[in-house]
Structure 1
Amino acid sequence: MDQATLNKLLTVGVQNGASDIHFRPGDPPIYRVNGVLRPLKMEKLHPDHTRQVALHIISDPLTKSQIDSVQEYDTSYGLPGVARFRVNVYRQRGTLACILRIIPDEIPTIDGLGLPQVLKTIADNDRGLVLVTGATGSGKSSTLAAMIDHINRTENLHILTLEDPIEFIHKNIKSSISQREIGQDTENFAIALRSALRQDPDVILVGEMRDMEMIDIALKAAETGKLVFSTVHTTDASRTLNRLISVFPAEEQAMVRMRLADNLRATISQRLLPKTDGKGRTLALEIMVQTPSVEQYIREDRINELKEVIEKGQDMFGMQSFDQHLSQLYREGQISLETAQSATTSPEDLHRLLESE
């Protein structure tokens, strides 16, 4: 496959609303549209085709020269005026395959994504830890980009992002933004995050909380007055906190719980759900912001009871549980009852919320 053909397939994918594009031997190119895989009506790809795709995408000369020994490789690829792509090249059954996630050229905004206004308030914090959580493909990167964009438009700060790879390209508006890519600009997340504390940032975005070392450094950054954004592959606030605490040795977990109580500013958990009209997906959100009650529950190891605090904080603090948002989306006709029931955290609580309206 030549580069012109590759670029045309990518362009058509963007124009047709694909979120991901698959190149794998034995299948034609596949677009994921609204969460559904849609094979193109083309000939099946051969191993030589996908090898050529990988060579077109990979820019690093050393990796290109070792293409036949690559087992997995993360990078990015850009088509000016079309989109950027987050790319994973991997080997399966001895052959190379490539998955490209589409990243729009335009930086998303909180208003443009239809996100709750409380996310602007969360982004306005001057220090602390903000976590966006959810499964792969739930829109975490877009939400983070929108919050960084809000800061960039409203504050004169130094924003430092650590990404693998860089996704949205931010331009300085009011803030000064430094974007570092793992592998190209720094060796790994832990080293980059440790070095970040010496690079005079006001805001740090780190792609993912991957291990105990990164969690510890991120908390230290928040404790020293930085606003730290990151992601965790968890489904809600309680599971997020339990995951962060559980990676530490048992004898350290009580102290980590105290540090989180002091420094956590918000968790934003996301799920993408099919719309009733079949035209796209809508975002269901759980939002927890720091309040005295939230801090108390974390300190007292009552993390599994946080849902009741979140539900009670809807009117005053802009918090909402998944079930509260699911019931709202159902009442607005955006999702079906079946979708709401399949996505609920608690069927009983969802039924109670629907009955109370």
Structure 2
Amino acid sequence: MAVIDISKLILHAYQMNASDVHLCTNENPVFRVFGELKRLKEVEPFSSNDLQKSLEILFGQIGFVPPSNKKEIDFSFGVKDLIRIRANVYFERRNYAAAFRIITKKIRKLEDLNVPILLRELAERDRGMILVSGPTGSGKSTTIAAMIEHVNETKPLHILTIEDPVEYVFENKKSVIHQRELGLDTMSFADGLKYALRQDPDVILVGEMRDLDTMELALTAAETGHLVLATIHTNSAPTAPERVIDVFPAHQQKQIGLQLANSLIAVIYQRLVRLVSGNGFAPVLEIMMVTDAIRNLIREGKLHQIESLMDTGKKYGMISFDYALVDAVKQKKISKEDAFLYCRSVEKITKELGALNEPVRE
């Protein structure tokens, strides 16, 4: 095929409701539409040379100079004031390949996301740490952006974000927002956090907590009167404290546990589950509020007992992932089959909804 304008291809993908675009040598472009991969048969496969030239044209359009010594690069850019793109260009069998995540420029409000009202209350906290976890592509960035935008619309604060890369671009409303991108504005999450504490922030967004230095600085920021929002990779909300503590060497873990117990407010775990209609996804959220009982378990290192408190904390706004699935089925947002597919306990889902081949219990 000939060299193409990748920006126009991405715009076409957006018009088809695609969330991702994949390009590689000797393949048709591939769009992910409502979770399923679809080959764009009307566009011929790329030759190695044509894909390289198409990417070089894109780099020129967006004013991006890729580092010459790397085999994988992350960057972001906008298309026609409609969408932002989170991009990764890499090599596959010694040829160029690329993945583009499409993000609408409009920052959605919390009430439009169909998430619990508790998230608005969490965003209004003055200090402490809120962690958001979930698989890749689960909507973590969208949820956090909505929380930041709620603060932006309601409180005169200084919000500082450290991201890799910047996804949603905020406009200052009641708040003043400064967004810093790794590689362009700061060299690492840890560096960004270290200097953030000297920049008079009220709210700090850490795009990802993935190393010891970043976690330590984020805890310090939360302890010293800032509201810290961060994403973290865990398989559930109750396992987040253990994930943080285990990053540290054994001789530091007790002290880190004390710091975490003092600063952690809540952990949100979410994933996207296909709507019954098939036209989109519903966010299903597990929410762990750090009650006094959970705080004591973190202090005492009894982290394995946290999960047992999830189903008894409903009055605090807590909900386990399985019960969140049950609620989504009863509200006719998702199918019973998908609840069984994504649940952690088949027994719990069966008790609430009936067996897979039975009608849903109301």
Q: TM-score, normalised by structure 2?
A: 0.93
Contact persistence 1:126–1:225 (CA under 8 A): yes
Report deviation, 1:60.
Answer: 5.6
The range that moved more, 270-279 or 106-115, is: 270-279
SS in 2 for 1:101: strand
Question: Aligned letter for 2:251?
Answer: E
**Do residues 75 (structure 1) and 75 (structure 2) align?**
yes
Question: Aligned letter for 1:228?
Answer: V
Contact persistence 1:110–1:150 (CA under 8 A): yes
The range that moved more, 295-304 or 111-120, is: 295-304
Contact persistence 2:6–2:55 (CA under 8 A): no
For residues 177 and 333 of structure 1, what CA distance do their matches in structure 2 show?
Answer: 38
Contact persistence 1:53–1:98 (CA under 8 A): no
1:121-132 paired onto structure 2 within 5 Å = 121-132=121-132
1:347 maps to 346
For residues 343 and 39 of structure 1, what CA distance do their matches in structure 2 show?
Answer: 27
What CA deviation, in whole Å up to 9, does each residue of 1:286-323 have, x standing for no partner?
A: 01122212212222333223233222222x22211101
1:4-153 paired onto structure 2 within 5 Å = 5-41=5-41, 42-58=43-59, 59=62, 62-63=65-66, 66=68, 70-153=70-153
For residues 350 and 303 of structure 2, what CA distance do their matches in structure 1 show?
Answer: 23
Contact persistence 2:6–2:58 (CA under 8 A): no
2:358 maps to none
1:194-273 paired onto structure 2 within 5 Å = 194-273=194-273
Q: Tell me, which stretches of 5 or more residues in structure 1 are unaligned?
A: none
- CA change 1:70–1:249 in 2 (3 A) is closer
SS in 2 for 1:352: helix
SS in 2 for 1:238: coil
- CA change 1:224–1:338 in 2 (3 A) is same
SS in 1 for 2:239: helix
For residues 61 and 115 of structure 1, what CA distance do their matches in structure 2 show?
Answer: 36
Report deviation, 1:136.
Answer: 0.6
Contact persistence 2:7–2:58 (CA under 8 A): no
- CA change 1:323–1:248 in 2 (3 A) is same
SS in 2 for 1:297: helix
SS in 1 for 2:238: helix
For residues 65 and 323 of structure 2, what CA distance do their matches in structure 1 show?
Answer: 51
For residues 167 and 108 of structure 1, what CA distance do their matches in structure 2 show?
Answer: 13
SS in 1 for 2:112: coil
For residues 83 and 230 of structure 2, what CA distance do their matches in structure 1 show?
Answer: 23
Contact persistence 1:272–1:282 (CA under 8 A): yes
For residues 277 and 35 of structure 2, what CA distance do their matches in structure 1 show?
Answer: 14
SS in 2 for 1:112: helix
For residues 216 and 34 of structure 1, what CA distance do their matches in structure 2 show?
Answer: 38
Identity, in percent, stands at 41
Report deviation, 1:61.
Answer: 6.0
Question: Aligned letter for 1:63?
Answer: P
Report deviation, 1:257.
Answer: 1.4
Q: Pairwise CA RMSD of aligned residues?
A: 1.7
Report deviation, 1:8.
Answer: 2.0
- CA change 1:99–1:273 in 2 (3 A) is same
For residues 56 and 127 of structure 1, what CA distance do their matches in structure 2 show?
Answer: 45
Contact persistence 2:238–2:288 (CA under 8 A): no
For residues 145 and 64 of structure 2, what CA distance do their matches in structure 1 show?
Answer: 30
For residues 230 and 162 of structure 1, what CA distance do their matches in structure 2 show?
Answer: 10
Report deviation, 1:135.
Answer: 0.8
Report deviation, 1:53.
Answer: 3.2
Contact persistence 2:114–2:283 (CA under 8 A): no
Report deviation, 1:84.
Answer: 0.8
Contact persistence 1:78–1:85 (CA under 8 A): yes
The range that moved more, 52-61 or 108-117, is: 52-61
For residues 304 and 64 of structure 2, what CA distance do their matches in structure 1 show?
Answer: 50
Q: TM-score, normalised by structure 1?
A: 0.94
SS in 2 for 1:270: strand
For residues 301 and 351 of structure 1, what CA distance do their matches in structure 2 show?
Answer: 33
How many residues align structurally? 352
Q: Tell me, which stretches of 5 or more residues in structure 2 are unaligned?
A: 355-360
1:307 maps to 307
2:322 maps to 323
Report deviation, 1:162.
Answer: 0.5
Report deviation, 1:107.
Answer: 0.9
Contact persistence 1:57–1:77 (CA under 8 A): no
- CA change 1:126–1:354 in 2 (3 A) is same
SS in 1 for 2:28: coil
What CA deviation, in whole Å up to 9, does each residue of 1:17-43 have, x standing for no partner?
A: 111111111211111111111110121
